Amino acid sequence: MLKAAIKPVYSSTWIAFSRQRVGEVNPLIFRYSLIFRKFSGWLLIIVCSLNRYPVLAQVSDGIVINPKTISQPFIIKGTSGGTVKATEITQTENTATGYCDGYVRSQPNHFLKLETFGEFMRLEVESPADTTIIIKGPDGVWCNDDAGSVNPMIEGQWQQGLYRVWVGSYRANTNNDYRIKITGR
């Protein structure tokens, strides 16, 4: 169950959201209620989960994952592409995991926070279009363009810490829906 892999958010817990594009709905929180209250000149917003089970928490610094407890694939959805060349983000044309191709946004699509060291974890992009990936983490930068198909994948050992993830499109100004499937052993 994903409950063990992700920090759960219950109905009485405060939630801080990461930056998202205007109009984009956080796909990780399926049912919620917003409570607005003016408090000492500030607008107080309280988000309460209405789910009976915990939902996946996307906190201000990312999606929190414990790589040692991933027992089922964890899915993140988004839209790839942008106008910035991948090499402007990475400052290199290739890494040990592949070429830094494609076009991305200037800001990451996702933030992943790993609570502990992961002996093995895989991030695999699934999309009907040709996508690319950049990951910047505590111990380096990794890129990939095609891993056996037109979609990228990065796997291996992962250090504890914050990872910034960009999903790009091979062609400039092309936006495509994607899913990142995160799996462990």
Cut 0.75: pTM above it: no
Q: What does the alpha-carbon distance between residue 48 and residue 32 come to, in Å, rounded to a whole number? A: 6
Q: Residue 120 phi/psi, 5° resolution? A: -155, 130
Give the CATH number, domain containing residue 150: 2.60.120.380
Q: 128 in a domain, yes or no?
A: yes
Q: Residue 148: what pLDDT?
A: 80
Model confidence over 22-62: pLDDT tens digits? 333 333 333 333 333 333 444 334 343 333 223 344 444 47
Q: 86 in a domain, yes or no?
A: yes
Strand partners, 33: 48
CA count, 13 A, side-chain hemisphere, 69: 13
Q: Residue 75 phi/psi, 5° resolution? A: -115, 135
Q: 136 in a domain, yes or no?
A: yes
How many domains would you assign to the chain?
Answer: 1
CA count, 13 A, side-chain hemisphere, 178: 30
Q: 56 in a domain, yes or no?
A: no
Q: Residue 13: what pLDDT?
A: 32
Mean pLDDT of 7-30: 34
Q: 37 in a domain, yes or no?
A: no
Q: 124 in a domain, yes or no?
A: yes
Q: What does the alpha-carbon distance between residue 17 and residue 29 come to, in Å, rounded to a whole number? A: 10
Model confidence over 92-140: pLDDT tens digits? 999 999 999 999 999 999 999 999 999 999 999 999 999 999 999 998 9
Q: Structural domain of residue 124, as residue ranges?
A: 2-6+61-183
Q: 11 in a domain, yes or no?
A: no
Q: What does the alpha-carbon distance between residue 72 and residue 74 come to, in Å, rounded to a whole number? A: 6
Q: What does the alpha-carbon distance between residue 40 and residue 27 come to, in Å, rounded to a whole number? A: 32
Q: 21 in a domain, yes or no?
A: no
